[in-house]
Amino acid sequence: MKNNRVVIIGAGLGGLQCGYILAKNGYDVTVLEQERVVGGCLQSFARRGTLFDTGFHYVGALGEGEALNRLFTYFDLMSLPWKKLDADCFDEIVIGDKSYPYAMGHNNFYNRLVEYFPHEREGLKNYIALLKRVGDHIFDNLKLKEGEKSLSNTYFAQSAYKFLTETIQDPILRQVLSGASLKMELKAKRGQ
């Protein structure tokens, strides 16, 4: 008989997602966690009466047909009480005395930023096209056969610095596009 028992060590986001996917596909999953609560890095905790929340604070691409909508539907998360942020500016990147909006949806995102960077139409088009492509292939990893490589993995493994510098000429726009990714400050020397 095929052994379908799996033990996952660590109930952080990775372990829990992995366990969920395997269980959905018929595996008998046990997740072991060393702490008293599950969640790993994603926690809420109180210190001296102040509540700290280390989880994410907003999620993008949850609109119908968008990449994370597909993932969140798979994980049965779309029924949570999501609140929609301002569609024309769900986040704002402030550089010096100027601020730049992030708008919801590929087209809206493009249109809003083109108002500030009209000379970067082509670059922004290519940037959005890549986002769409990665989103369209986000599920590839779940369907791969042994030895196959997914398109999304290829893109995730590529240097963000290289992609942005090749696609976008304006250094301010590069900063705007990487501004919401805390770990994606552009490190030219390391090529990340």
Using rule CB under 6 A, residue 123 touches ligand FAD: no
Residue 67: both structure tokens together: 């990449």
Using rule CB under 6 A, residue 54 touches ligand FAD: yes
One residue of 1, 3, 36, 41 binding ligand FAD per CB under 6 A: 41
- H or E segment to which residue 156 belongs: helix 151-156
Nearer to ligand FAD, 32 or 144 (CB): 32
C-alpha separations of 146 from 109, 123, 141, 143, 149 in Å? 37, 36, 11, 10, 9
Using rule CB under 6 A, residue 34 touches ligand FAD: yes
Q: Which residue type occupies 164? A: L
The answer to whether 132 and 155 have CB atoms below 8 angstroms apart is no
Using rule CB under 6 A, residue 32 touches ligand FAD: yes
The answer to whether 45 and 52 have CB atoms below 8 angstroms apart is yes
Using rule CB under 6 A, residue 45 touches ligand FAD: no
Using rule CB under 6 A, residue 9 touches ligand FAD: yes
- 27-35, 65-73, 98-106, 149-157 -> range binding ligand FAD (CB under 6 A): 27-35
Nearer to ligand FAD, 66 or 120 (CB): 66
d(CA 74, CA 149): 22
Binding positions for ligand FAD, rule: CB under 6 A: 9-15, 32-35, 40-42, 54, 56
